[in-house]
Structure 1
Amino acid sequence: MTGQLIVLAVLLVVVAWLAACAEAGLARTTRISAEEAVRAGRRGSAKLTAVAADPVRYLNVALLVRVACEMGAAALVTYVSLERVQGTWQALTVAIGVMVLVSFVAVGVSPRTIGRQHPVGTTTAAAYVLLPLARIMGPVPRLLILVGNALTPGKGYRMGPFASEQELRAMVDLAEKESLIEDEEARMVHSVFELGDTLVREVMVPRTDVVTIERFKTIRQALTLALRSGFSRIPVTGENEDDVVGIVYVKDLARRTHINRESESEPVSSAMRPAFFVPDTKNADDMLREMQRRRIHVAVVIDEYGSTAGIVTIEDILEEIVGEITDEYDRELPPVEPLGEQRYRVTARLDIGDLGELYDLELDDEDVETVGGLLAKSLGRVPIAGATGEVDVSHDGSDPGLTALRLTAESAAGRRNKIVTVLVEPVRTAPGEDGA
C-alpha cells in the first residue's frame, strides 16, 4: 500500500512538472510565434495557434493542475511519513523537507527553465492536453480566479495575476541587462509605454514656431513659402493667427498649377483642405491611432481657451518612440560650436546654465531659461539678426577679468525670422584697469 502511494506521489509530481513547463512556455509564446510555426509546417501548430489565441484561459488551467498535483503529492508524502516515521513531529518534518525540496527543484526551477528555453515546443506539447482539459473543466479556473480576487484587498485582475505594465517593464530591463536586446531597443519599448502618459501639448510644435499663410494669399505665394520653409503642409489662417481655417498641401498646389498655370493667381483657400482640431490634453497614443484612422498627418492643437496652441504631426509623435527623425533637407546644428579665444556659437535654445558652464559661471535668471531669452531680456525687445546685447557677470568672482558676455544674434530662419544661433564673446577689462 505504501509503495503504491509513493508511486502515485511521484506521478503527481511528474504531472506538476509538466504543468509548470506549460506555464513557463505559455508566458513566452505569442501569436506571432504560433503563426511562424504554422508557416513552417510544424507538427501540432494548429493546436498551438488555438492555445496562443487565448493564453490566459489555458494558463489558468495549467496553474490549477500544478497546484492540485503539488497539494496531492504533499498529502500522500505526509501520509506515508506518518506511517513509516515514529513520532508525529518527526514525520511532519520529513514530509515538509521532502516536499520543499521536490517543489523547489522538480516543480520550481527545472520545468520553468525548460519552458523558457523552449517555449514553442513546450507549449505545442502541452496544447494536446490543455485543449481537452479546458473543455472538461469549463469555467472552474475562472471561478477560482474570481474567488481569489474577492479575497484580495484592492482591485484584482479579472483574468488572473499574470501580466502588468510594471512586470513587462521589468522584463525589458532584465532582457537589456542580459544583452538579449540592445539599449536602443529597450528605450523604444519604454517609450511606447510612456506614450500613453504623454499629452499632445508635450510633443506639438508651438504656435510661435509654426509657419502659416493667410487665406487671401495666392497659390504661387504658397508654393514659394513651401519651397523656402521646406514644409509640405502649411496651416492657412483667416482673420488672425488663432483662426486656422484649413491646411494646404504642396501636392495639391503642384497638381493645381501643373494642370492650369493660370491657377497660380487664385487664392490659397481654394486649394486648402479642412483642418482637424484636437485639444492639447489629448493622449499622444490616442492621437496617433486617430490620425491613422482618419488618414491625416497633421492636426491643429487647441488650448483650454480655444486659441491655437500649435500643430502636431505623426512625425512628432513617432519621434517620442524612435528619437529625432531628420531628412535630406534637415540641417542639425550642434548646441555649442567653439570658435577659439573663448568665443562660441550656440543655439538660441541652449540652456543658460549650459552657457555658464562654458565660462565657469553660475548663470541663473528667474525670467528666462535659454540664451535666446537672455538676449531678448538684455535688449528689451525681440532680437533680430545682428542685434547685440551684453549680460553683466562681474558679480561672479570666478574670473575677475571677465565683466560681461556679449551676445550677438546671428542666423534667422522661418517665416517669422526667428533667431537660430547666437555668437557669445567674453568682455574683459582692459589691461591696467582696476575695475573701480
Structure 2
Amino acid sequence: MTAQLVTIAILLVVVAWLAACAEAGLARTTRITAEEAVRAGRRGSAKLLAVASDPVRYLNVALLVRVACEMAAGVVVTYVCLERFSATWEALTVAIGVMVLVSYVAVGVSPRTIGRQHPEGTATAAAYVLLPLARVMGPIPRLLILLGNALTPGRGFRYGPFASEQELRAMVDLAQKESLIEDEERRMVHSVFELGDTLVREVMVPRTDVVTIERYKTIRQALTLALRSGFSRIPVTGENEDDVVGMVYLKDLARKTHINRDSETEPVSTAMRPASFVPDTKNAGDMLREMQQQRNHVAVVIDEYGGTAGIVTIEDILEEIVGEITDEYDRELPPVERLGDDRYRVTARLDIGDLGDLYGLELDDEDVETVGGLLAKSLGRVPIAGATGEVDVSHDGADPELRALRLTAESPAGRRNKIVTVLVEPVRVAVAEDE
C-alpha cells in the first residue's frame, strides 16, 4: 500500500511539473510567434495558435492543474509519513521538508527554466493537453476566480491575477539585464504601459506655448506666421484665446494661394478646418487611437472650466513612448558641451552613467536614469529655470577633493517648455572650506 501511495505522489509531482512547464512556456509565447509557426507549417502550430489566442484561459487551467496536483501530492506524502512514523510531529516535519524540497526544485525551478528556454516547443506540447482539458473543465477555473474575487477586499481581476502587467514589466526588466533587449527597448515597453495611465493634460502643449492666429487676419499673414514659427497647423481664434474657432493647415494655405494669388487678402477663416476638442482628463492612449481612426493629427484641449488649456498632437503622444522626436526645424543640441574648468553643459536626457564618466565617477541611482531626473530628485520637485541642486559624490570616485556635483537647470525650451540643458559644476573640498 505504501509503495502504491508513493507512486501516486510521484505521478502527481510529474503532472505538476508538466503544468509548471506549460505555464512558463505560455507566458513567453505570443500570438505573433504562433502565427509565424503556422506560416512555417510547424507541427502542432494550429493548436498553439488556438491557445495563444486566449492565453489567460489556458494559463488558468494549467495553474489549476499544478496547484491541485501539488496539494494532492502533499496530502499523500503526509499520509505515508503518518503511517511510517510513530510520532505525529516527526511525520509532519518529514512531510513538510519533502514537499518543500519537491515543490521548490521539481515544480518551482526546473520546469520554469525549461519553459523559458524552449517556450515555443513547450507551449506547443502543452496545447495538445490544455485544449481538451479546458473543454472538460468548462467554467470551473472561471468560477474559482470569481470565488477568489469575492473573498478579496476591493475589486478583483476579472480573469484572475495570474497574468498581470507587473509580471510582464518584471520580465522585460529581466530580459534587459540578460542583454536580450536593449535598455532603450525596455524603456519603450514601460512607456507603452505608462501611456495607459497618462492624461492628455500631461502631454499637451500648454496654451502659453501655443502659436495662434485671429480669424480676421489674412491668409498671407497666416502663411507668414506658419513659415516663421515652423508650425504646419495653427489654431484660429475668435474673440480671445479661449475661443478657438478652427484650425488652419499650412498645406491648405499654400494650395489656396497657388491656385489664386488674389486669395492672399482673404481672411484666414476661409481656409480653416473645423477644430477637434477633447477634455484635458482624457486618457492619452485612447486619444492616440481616436486620432488614428479619425486621421486627425491635432486637437484642442479644454479644461474643466471650458477654457483652452492647450493643444495635443500625435507627435506629443508618440514622444511619450519613443522619446523626443526632432525634425529639420528643431535645433538638436550636443549631449555634452565642455565649458572649461571641469564645467559642462549637458542635455537633461543624458544618462547619469555618462555624466559620471565625465568626472571619473561610478554614478548609479535606482530611482532615476537621466541628469534631469537626478536634479529633480535632489530638489524634491520639478526643476524650473535657475533651480540648483547638489548631488553628493564623495563616496563614488577616486578624486578625494570632489565632494559633490552642482546641477543648475537652464532656460526651458521646446513645445512643452521643458528644461532642456543642465549646467554641471564640480564642488570640491577646498572650495567648500574657503566659503
1:154-173 correspondence runs (5 A): 154-173=154-173
Residue number in structure 2 paired with 1:110: 110
Q: TM-score, normalised by structure 1?
A: 0.73
**Aligned residue identity for 1:257:** T
Residue number in structure 2 paired with 1:123: 123
For the residues of structure 1 that align with 2:321 and 2:162, how far apart are their CA atoms? 26
Contact 2:60 2:162 in 1 (8 A): no
RMSD: 3.5
The 3 A distance-change label for structure 1 pair 34 and 216 is same
- 1:180 deviation in Å? 2.7
Residue number in structure 2 paired with 1:375: none
- Specify which of 334, 348, 370 is matched with residue 385 of structure 2: 370
For the residues of structure 2 that align with 1:205 and 1:78, how far apart are their CA atoms? 66
Residue number in structure 2 paired with 1:305: 305
**Aligned residue identity for 1:325:** I
C-alpha deviations, 1:330-377, integer Å up to 9, x for none?
Answer: 213579978889x99999xxxxxxxxxxxxxxxx9xxx9536xxxxxx
Residue number in structure 2 paired with 1:400: none
- The structure with more radius of gyration: 1
SS of aligned partner of 1:253? helix
Contact 2:252 2:271 in 1 (8 A): yes
- 1:246 deviation in Å? 0.8
The 3 A distance-change label for structure 1 pair 270 and 147 is same
C-alpha deviations, 1:293-344, integer Å up to 9, x for none?
Answer: 2211111122333332222111112112211111122213579978889x99
Residue number in structure 1 paired with 2:214: 214
Larger mean Cα displacement after TM superposition, 70-79 or 105-114: 70-79
For the residues of structure 1 that align with 2:339 and 2:116, how far apart are their CA atoms? 56
Residue number in structure 2 paired with 1:318: 318
1:28-427 correspondence runs (5 A): 28-333=28-333, 369-370=384-385
For the residues of structure 2 that align with 1:345 and 1:9, how far apart are their CA atoms? 67
Residue number in structure 2 paired with 1:10: 10
The 3 A distance-change label for structure 1 pair 128 and 219 is same
The 3 A distance-change label for structure 1 pair 73 and 309 is closer
For the residues of structure 1 that align with 2:39 and 2:335, how far apart are their CA atoms? 50
For the residues of structure 1 that align with 2:56 and 2:48, how far apart are their CA atoms? 14
Contact 2:200 2:312 in 1 (8 A): yes
For the residues of structure 1 that align with 2:187 and 2:104, how far apart are their CA atoms? 35
SS of aligned partner of 1:197? coil
**Aligned residue identity for 1:96:** I
Larger mean Cα displacement after TM superposition, 279-288 or 315-324: 279-288
For the residues of structure 2 that align with 1:58 and 1:30, how far apart are their CA atoms? 13
The 3 A distance-change label for structure 1 pair 70 and 31 is same
C-alpha deviations, 1:120-161, integer Å up to 9, x for none?
Answer: 111110111111111111111222222222233333322222
SS of aligned partner of 1:162? coil
**Aligned residue identity for 1:104:** Y
For the residues of structure 1 that align with 2:81 and 2:73, how far apart are their CA atoms? 12
For the residues of structure 2 that align with 1:28 and 1:255, how far apart are their CA atoms? 52
The 3 A distance-change label for structure 1 pair 336 and 92 is closer
For the residues of structure 1 that align with 2:196 and 2:7, how far apart are their CA atoms? 53
**Aligned residue identity for 2:254:** A
SS of aligned partner of 1:136? helix
Residue number in structure 1 paired with 2:404: none
**Aligned residue identity for 1:215:** R
The 3 A distance-change label for structure 1 pair 75 and 164 is closer
**Aligned residue identity for 1:43:** R
- 1:248 deviation in Å? 0.9
**Aligned residue identity for 2:385:** T
**Aligned residue identity for 2:133:** L
Residue number in structure 1 paired with 2:428: none
**Aligned residue identity for 1:110:** S
For the residues of structure 2 that align with 1:413 and 1:167, how far apart are their CA atoms? 36
Instruction: State the number of aligned residues.
Output: 360
Contact 2:56 2:163 in 1 (8 A): no
The 3 A distance-change label for structure 1 pair 101 and 39 is same
For the residues of structure 2 that align with 1:186 and 1:232, how far apart are their CA atoms? 33
Structure 1: give runs of 5+ residues left out of the alignment: 348-363, 372-408, 422-436
For the residues of structure 1 that align with 2:80 and 2:31, how far apart are their CA atoms? 45
- 1:38 deviation in Å? 1.2
Contact 2:17 2:106 in 1 (8 A): yes
The 3 A distance-change label for structure 1 pair 116 and 136 is same
For the residues of structure 2 that align with 1:96 and 1:44, how far apart are their CA atoms? 39
SS of aligned partner of 2:58? helix
- 1:205 deviation in Å? 1.9
Q: TM-score, normalised by structure 2?
A: 0.73
- 1:168 deviation in Å? 3.2
**Aligned residue identity for 1:147:** L
For the residues of structure 2 that align with 1:346 and 1:133, how far apart are their CA atoms? 59
- 1:112 deviation in Å? 1.0
